[in-house]
A = this chain, B = another copy of it.
Amino acid sequence: MSSAVESKSDLENQTVYFRCIAGCSAKHSIFDVIYTCPSCGSLLEVYHEREPLRKRNPYQWQQLFDSRASTSDWPYGSGVWGMREWVIPALADENVVSMFEGNSNLFWAERLGRQLGVPDLWIKLCGNSHTGSFKDLGMTVLVSVVKQMMAQGSPVKAVACASTGDTSAALAAYAAYAGIPAVIFLPAGKVSTAQLIQPVANGAHVLALDTDFDGCMKIVQEVTQDNSIYLANSMNSLRIEGQKTVGIEIVRQFDWEVPDWIVIPVGNLGNISALHKGFRLMLDLGLINRMPRLVAAQAAKANPFYESYKNGFKEKVRVTAQDTLANAIRIGDPVSYAKAERAIVETDGIVEQATEDELAAAAAHADLTGMFTCPHTGVALAVLNKLIKRGVIKSDDKTVVISTAHGLKFTDFKVAYHESRLDEVTSQYANPAVHLPADADAVKAEIEKRLAH
Contacts and interface: CB of A to CB of B under 8 A. Distances in A.
Interface of A: 69-72, 74, 99-100, 103, 105-108, 111, 125, 128-132, 157-158, 173-179, 181, 183, 186, 188, 193-194, 196-198, 200-211, 215-216, 219, 222-223, 229, 252-255, 364, 367-372, 406-409, 411-412, 414-415, 418-419, 429, 431-440, 443-444, 446-447, 450-451
B372 A253 contact: no
Q: Which 8 A-B pairs have the closest CB atoms?
A: A177-B370, A70-B70, A211-B438, A222-B440, A100-B105, A206-B433, A176-B370, A408-B408
A207 B434 contact: yes
Given A174-B370, A369-B176, A435 B130 contact: no
B408 A208 contact: no
A368 B202 contact: yes
B72 A368 contact: no
A179 B223 contact: no
Helix, strand, loop or mixed for chain A's interface? mixed
Contact of A406 (B132, B207, B219): B132
A431 to B, nearest CB: 5
Contacts of A188: 435-436
Contact of A446 (B179, B207, B368, B439): B207
B209 A372 contact: no
A117 B440 CA distance: 56
A433 B128 contact: no
A209 B443 contact: yes
A415 B193 contact: yes
Given A188-B435, A223-B440, 16 more contacts: A111-B179, A125-B130, A128-B129, A130-B370, A132-B408, A176-B367, A176-B370, A177-B369, A186-B433, A200-B432, A204-B431, A206-B431, A208-B433, A216-B438, A406-B408, A408-B408
Given A202-B372, A368-B202, A438 B219 contact: yes
B131 A372 contact: yes
Given A370-B99, A438-B211, A443 B223 contact: yes
22 contacts: A72-B106, A99-B105, A128-B128, A130-B370, A176-B367, A177-B370, A178-B370, A193-B418, A193-B433, A194-B415, A196-B433, A200-B431, A200-B432, A200-B433, A207-B434, A207-B446, A207-B447, A208-B434, A208-B436, A209-B436, A209-B438, A210-B435
Contact of A223 (B197, B207, B219, B444): B444
Contacts of A71: 69
Contacts of A409: 408
Nearest to A431: B200
Nearest to A446: B207
A156 to B, nearest CB: 11
A250 to B, nearest CB: 10
B203 A431 contact: yes
A105 B130 contact: yes
Contacts of A415: 193-194, 197
Nearest to A450: B205
A403 to B, nearest CB: 11
Given A372-B173, A411-B197, A431-B200, A207 B132 contact: no
B364 A157 contact: no
A384 to B, nearest CB: 19
A106 to B, nearest CB: 8
A176 to B, nearest CB: 4
A112 to B, nearest CB: 10
A70 B203 contact: no
Nearest to A177: B370
Contact of A193 (B207, B364, B432, B436): B432
A291 to B, nearest CB: 21
A223 B131 contact: no
